[in-house]
Amino acid sequence: MNDTFNIRVRDTLQKMTPYSPGKPIWELQNELGLSNIIKLASNENPLGPSPKALEAVASSLSDIHRYPDASTTRLRQALATGLEMIPEQFIISNGGDELITLVAETFLEPGDEVIVCSPSFSEYEFGAHLMGATIVPVALDESFRFDIDAIVGAVTARTRLICLCSPNNPTGTYLSKDVLHHLLDVLPKHVVILLDAAYSQFATASDYTNGLEFVRAGYPVIVLQTFSKIYGLAGLRVGYGVASETIIQQMIKVKEPFNVNALAQVAATAALHDAEHVRLTLEANTKGKLQLYQAFQEMGLSFVESMGNFVLVEIGAEAKHIYEALMTRGIIVRFGGIWNLPCHLRISVGYREENSTFIQAMADILTHDN
């Protein structure tokens, strides 16, 4: 810190860097002076928000001088009804991101160990560092599958939490029901599992599980869900956790009272009942993924079959150059370097025209720039 003052920040901050988000559309618009930017970088819903959510927000605007419901009663009730659970098994958060922090604040003491798979979503490390806990990374195997033996082998008496992301961001690979079941059965009793199922609604594999069955069966599992992906409400910030009533009772103690704003609450509740928007989103995602797969095959690029709304493609040593060249054409994707995958790009599935523009630009760059 500034030498003039004798103030100091917590030691753990030395291990932390601010989150690096996908470049916002407005920023690239300003930089390039282009009006038409295509953003395939943050796994958002290319169809936009649920129309029912938009209506609910519009009709609630005149109430925003009131504090939101601190207990998010209606949303928890709607979720509980839909999933045949009880409202006391849900905690609503300011996006899935906040849920990760709440889990960290509930369970982690300095020096505790948190097992995270690598590469995966970076916020688990943020939560662990925030609490002064130690990250124990376990690499995915060479096909980006979960290495369960390595995860079990990494568990010690200090392991408090294991974060598993399925479908995994950025690889799109997943953890099968049998494998998760086996893991839960062999883990020692002092370990909590955070199963991040942010992309669960996109998963089509018959042996996929969103983990709720294990919550119902009484395992110490917290399932993370978000309204940012399939429901298209990333800008409103609303996610939730599902676990046993006992776990949720503890997590509520670290939650700020008004963590989920009033518009997010009504929008999420309405989006839950918008089956048509979900159906159209899934349809567009399935078609868009096939469009990307086919294009990558034609370009001779290998990719990982994805259970999410994004595809990880292997480009080779030119990946960064291609990422930058796409950017100059107004197309934002994610460079794999942020996950230590410098030969890869992660492409969020857009709608058809967006995917086509991206594919044409890729093909063009590959032919002319190399």
Least distance to ligand PLP, CB of residue 163, Å: 10
- Euclidean distance between CA atoms 125 and 86, whole angstroms: 30
Least distance to ligand PLP, CB of residue 121, Å: 4
Asked if 109 and 133 count as a contact pair (C-beta separation under 8 A), the reply is yes
Nearest CB to ligand PLP, comparing residues 198 and 212 = 198
Residue in 95, 172, 220, 232 binding ligand PLP, rule: CB under 6 A: 95
Q: Does 43 bind ligand PLP (CB under 6 A)?
A: yes
Q: Based on the number of CB atoms within 10 Å of its own CB, is 169 exposed (0-12), middle (13-18) or buried (19 or more)?
A: buried
Residues 162-181 that bind ligand PLP (CB under 6 A): 165, 169
What is the three-class DSSP state of 193?
Answer: strand
What is the three-class DSSP state of 202?
Answer: helix
Q: Does 198 bind ligand PLP (CB under 6 A)?
A: yes
Q: Based on the number of CB atoms within 10 Å of its own CB, is 236 exposed (0-12), middle (13-18) or buried (19 or more)?
A: buried
Nearest CB to ligand PLP, comparing residues 196 and 274 = 196
What is the three-class DSSP state of 103?
Answer: helix
Q: Does 196 bind ligand PLP (CB under 6 A)?
A: yes
- Euclidean distance between CA atoms 320 and 291, whole angstroms: 23
Number of residues this chain uses to bind ligand PLP (CB under 6 A): 13
Nearest CB to ligand PLP, comparing residues 107 and 121 = 121
- Euclidean distance between CA atoms 25 and 327, whole angstroms: 11
Nearest CB to ligand PLP, comparing residues 169 and 285 = 169
- Euclidean distance between CA atoms 4 and 311, whole angstroms: 49
- Euclidean distance between CA atoms 99 and 196, whole angstroms: 10
In the complex, which residue's CB is closest to ligand PLP?
95
Determine the interface stretch with ligand PLP among 93-101, 106-114, 155-163, 177-185 (rule: CB under 6 A): 93-101
Q: Does 210 bind ligand PLP (CB under 6 A)?
A: no
Cα–Cα distances (Å) from 31 to 27, 187, 354, in that order, read 6, 50, 20
Least distance to ligand PLP, CB of residue 103, Å: 12
Residue in 72, 106, 201, 228 binding ligand PLP, rule: CB under 6 A: 228
Asked if 227 and 75 count as a contact pair (C-beta separation under 8 A), the reply is no
Cα–Cα distances (Å) from 105 to 133, 157, 160, in that order, read 10, 19, 12
Cα–Cα distances (Å) from 38 to 260, 289, 320, 348, in that order, read 29, 16, 18, 11
Q: Does 96 bind ligand PLP (CB under 6 A)?
A: yes
Nearest CB to ligand PLP, comparing residues 97 and 113 = 97
Residues shown for the chain: 370
Residue in 90, 107, 121, 339 binding ligand PLP, rule: CB under 6 A: 121
Least distance to ligand PLP, CB of residue 186, Å: 24
Determine the interface stretch with ligand PLP among 28-36, 90-98, 149-157, 250-258 (rule: CB under 6 A): 90-98
Q: Does 239 bind ligand PLP (CB under 6 A)?
A: yes
Nearest CB to ligand PLP, comparing residues 89 and 93 = 93
Nearest CB to ligand PLP, comparing residues 95 and 119 = 95
Contacting positions for ligand PLP (CB under 6 A): 43, 95-97, 121, 165, 169, 196, 198, 226, 228, 234, 239
